Each structure stands twice: as structure tokens, then as C-alpha cells.
Structure 1
């Protein structure tokens, strides 16, 4: 008589379980979150561009006064 084969099923880690729950709960808002993130990236780029331009103007102003 043979024993029935034992199948070991891995218990998901806490992180895996949390990610699964998160994907179920937040799937609807993912598009909005991505849009908000992209808007933030564009705004950061705009501010960086403005800072660089301001620094160039200030450098020219200081150079012409010396």
C-alpha cells in the first residue's frame, strides 16, 4: 500500500499577499495615479528649466556689472 503523494503548496509571503490585495483595491485608480505622476514629472522639468534660465540671466547680469 502506497501513501498518497503530498503536495506542498507554498504559502504566499506577506509582501505577495499585500501586493495582491493592493492590485485588487487600487486597479481603478491606477490610471489617475499614473497621470498625476506624469504631471508631476512635467512640472518638475518645467521648474528645472526655469531655474536654469534664471541662473543664466543672473550670471549675465553679474558679468556685465563687473
Structure 2
């Protein structure tokens, strides 16, 4: 005679992403003020890059207009 076995529950969980793991480590190491300052600094860097790209594109447009007129 066989013993009855309890049904096994299968749970599917997603593995944490690398970004999520880094954020957890960041929260353990840094205080919230440092975290906010770092994120603000990175946002400023991205904004500076966007403005620099816009400036280069505007310069190309102005140069193209200048060469057409001359």
C-alpha cells in the first residue's frame, strides 16, 4: 500500500533584475540623502548631454542655411 503524498505547490517567481539588485545594495550602503543627490546629479548629466546634442544640431542647421545663401 502506498502512502498518500501531499500535492506540491509550484511557485513561479521572477528573478530580480541587476538594476533592482543594485538599488537594494545602494539603499543598504547609502543614506537616502546621498541616494537622492546621486540621482539628481545623474539627471543633470543627462540633461547637459541633451542640451549639447541640441546645440550641435542647431549649429549644423545654421551652417547649412549660411552655405545656401552664399
Bin for the TM-score computed over the shorter chain: 0.5 to 0.7
Q: How many residues align?
A: 41
RMSD across aligned positions (CA): 1.3
CA distance in 1, matches of 2:35, 2:56: 32
Structure 1, unaligned runs of 5 or more: 1-25
User: Displaced runs of 4+ in structure 1, greater than 6 A?
Assistant: none
Q: Which of 29, 51, 55 is equivalent to 1:51?
A: 55
TM-score, with length taken from structure 2: 0.55
TM-score, with length taken from structure 1: 0.59
What does 1:1-66 correspond to in 2, within 5 Å? Answer: 27-66=31-70
Aligned residue in 2 for 1:17: none
